[in-house]
Amino acid sequence: MMPKKNNEGVRLVRVSRDHEGQRLDNFLSAQLKGVPRSAVYRMIRTGQVRINGGRARAATRLNEGDEVRIPPARIRGEQSVAVTEQVREQLRSAIVYEDSDLLVVDKPAGMAVHAGSGLPWGLIDALRQDRPGEYLELAHRLDRETSGCLVLARNGAALAHLSAQFRDGRVRKYYLCLMNGRMPQAVIEVDAPLARRPEDAGGHVEVHAEGKPSRTRFRELRQFDDCTYAEAELLTGRTHQIRAHARHLGLALAGDRKYADRESLKRWKQRGLNRIFLHAHRLVLESPNGTEREFDAILPDSLRGVLDVLER
């Protein structure tokens, strides 16, 4: 069906308590159902979307009472993309923890967290289809190829609470990774600002003096002949932070199509690795009821098998 014009014109929407702490892009996607996510980002980037009269970024967090200017948009047909029962069952079996405030899922590698960039649906869409009528919002994100712990809020108050923790760096985040080469010491803390490469449509980031402050702590777990199995602790939360900092050390992650060289990708494929070796295995946060909670997601078989090959 051809796109059609939304005839409502410009709308001014007041943010309710349930949406406090939500990212602007996610808020708009919910308000403009059927609008491609790429179009949502274009509206924000070109200043068509305003918060309290001012321009904002996609990652801007909303406050209760904010007034969001939403322009008219071209929408797809009314019928949404149906997520298969197989995918929905996969996500049901991937639930790590659930209560009235939050849902923790062991996100499968290769599954985007939301639709966009040519993808008709993402994890959040699949869960919403599986749980019609329920409140579900992403508290943070993981790269499409990264597996592991992903937290979703189940009500507005929980979203505000969790979003503030992620934004303020109060959530402790630990990843398992395999690095090309041997770490020269058991613990390395990288304190190097990161910025997007200018004119780079691929979304690469690199160490740059004018970038955003970024810190990652790598801890060696095991050394092999030509690689290091390590835990990476995110001390800040920038896009591709672990991947870019590993490359900065000259130890790009195994299977990383964006930051590793082609020869290393070929070698890892021969060892059975067909994805980036990066897994969000542990999160520690304060739940909305005030208690500290720790969540773990075991290393998936696809990555465990690579370690088994290295250990032979």
Which is nearest to 35 in space by CA: 45, 23, 25?
A: 25
Active-site annotation holds for 143: yes
The pLDDT of residue 36: 76
d(CA 265, CA 51): 44
Q: Do domains 8-73 and 85-166 have the same CATH topology?
A: no
Q: Considering the domain 8-73, what is its CATH architecture?
A: Roll (3.10)
Please count the residues of the chain: 312
d(CA 44, CA 170): 28
Average pLDDT over every residue of 142-169: 92
- Please report, for residues 123, 171, 226, the alpha-carbon distance to residue 163 in angstroms, rounded to integers and kept in the order given: 18, 10, 39
Tell the CATH topology of 168-311: Pseudouridine synthase (3.30.2350)
Is 3 a residue whose pLDDT tops 80? no
How does pLDDT run across 48-83, given as a tens digit for each residue? 999 999 999 988 989 889 999 998 876 554 445 788
How does pLDDT run across 243-280, given as a tens digit for each residue? 999 999 999 999 999 999 999 999 999 999 999 999 99
Query: Which residue among the candidates 143, 226, 256, 261 is catalytic per the annotation?
Result: 143
> 249-253 contacts: CB < 8 A, separation 24 or more?
249/179, 249/183, 249/188, 249/190, 249/218, 250/181, 251/179, 251/180, 251/181, 251/183, 252/179, 252/180, 253/177, 253/178, 253/179, 253/180, 253/277, 253/278
Structural domain boundaries in the chain: 8-73, 85-166, 168-311
- Please report, for residues 31, 46, 228, 297, 305, the alpha-carbon distance to residue 223 in angstroms, rounded to integers and kept in the order given: 49, 48, 5, 23, 16
**Tokens 């398992």 identify what position?**
176
Which two tokens mark 189? Answer: 């803390």
d(CA 304, CA 288): 34
Is 174 a residue whose pLDDT tops 90? yes
For residue 119, count CB atoms less than 10 angstroms from its CB and return exposed for 0-12, middle for 13-18, buried for 19 or more: middle
The pLDDT of residue 173: 97
* Backbone φ/ψ region at 21: left (φ over 0), alpha (ψ -120 to 50), beta: left
Which is nearest to 212 in space by CA: 83, 74, 57?
A: 57
- Please report, for residues 53, 199, 286, the alpha-carbon distance to residue 193 in angstroms, rounded to integers and kept in the order given: 31, 19, 27
Question: Rounded to the nearest 5°, which phi and psi values hold at 296?
Answer: -130, 145
pTM of the model: 0.80
Q: So what CATH class is 85-166?
A: alpha beta
How does pLDDT run across 78-104, given as a tens digit for each residue? 445 788 999 999 999 999 999 999 999
Is 200 a residue whose pLDDT tops 90? no
The pLDDT of residue 6: 42
